[in-house]
Structure 1
Amino acid sequence: MIKTIIFDFGDVFINLDKSATERELYNLKNEKLTTELRELNMLYEAGKITTPELIESFQKLIPNASEKQLIYAWNALLLDFPKHRLEFIQKLASEQRYQLILLSNNNELHINWIKENISFFPEFRSCFDAFYLSHEINLRKPEPYIFEFVLKQHQLNPSETLFIDDTKDNTDTAAALGMHTWNNNPVTEDVTDLFTIKSDLF
Structure 2
Amino acid sequence: MIKTLIFDFGDVFINLDKEGAMNNALNLFEVETFPEELIAINSLYEQGLISSEEFIEFYVENFPKLSKESILDAWNYILRDFPTHRLEFLKTLAKTDVYKLILLSNTNELHIDWIKDKVEFYDDFKTQFHEFYLSHEINLRKPNANIYEFVLLENNLKPEECLFIDDTKENTDSASKLGIHTWNINPITEDVVNLFTINNHLF
- Residue 147 of structure 2 corresponds to 146
**Identity of aligned pairs, percent?**
56
The 3 A distance-change label for structure 1 pair 172 and 155 is: same
Mark the CA change 1:52 to 1:20 in structure 2 (over 3 Å): closer, same or farther.
farther
Deviation at 1:40, TM superposition (A): 1.8
| Aligned positions, number | 202
Structure 2 SS opposite 1:34: coil
For 1:28-79, what per-residue CA distance to the aligned partner results, in whole angstroms no more than 9, with x for missing partners?
A: 3322451233222211111111111111111122101111111110000000
Q: TM-score, normalised by structure 2?
A: 0.96
Shift of the 29–158 alpha-carbon distance from structure 1 to 2, 3 Å rule, reads closer
Partner of 2:113: 112
- Report the 3-state secondary structure (helix = DSSP H, G, I; strand = E; otherwise coil) of the residue aligned with 2:18: coil
1:181-196 alignment, distance < 5 Å: 181-196=182-197
1:33-182 equivalent positions in 2, closer than 5 A: 34-35=34-35, 36-182=37-183
| Aligned 8 A contact 2:26 2:34 in 1 | no
1: CA distance between counterparts of 2:111 and 2:19? 15
Gaps spanning 5+ residues in structure 2: where? none
Distance 2:21 2:94 in 1: 33
The DSSP-based 3-state class of the residue aligned with 1:79 is coil
Supply the distance in 2 between the matched residues of 1:28 and 1:2 (Cα, whole angstroms): 45
Q: Distance in 1 between matches of 2:29 and 2:6?
A: 38
Indicate whether 1:17 and 2:17 are aligned.
Answer: yes
The residue type equivalent to 2:85 in the other structure is H
Which residue identity is paired with 1:24? Answer: N
Task: Tell me, in whole angstroms, the C-alpha distance in 1 between the residues paired with 2:59 and 2:20.
Answer: 16
Is the contact made by 2:106 and 2:141 (CA closer than 8 Å) also made in structure 1? yes
Give the secondary-structure state (helix, strand or coil) at the position aligned to 2:129: coil
* Contact 1:21–1:73 (CA under 8 A) maintained in structure 2: yes
Output the amino acid matched with 1:153.
E
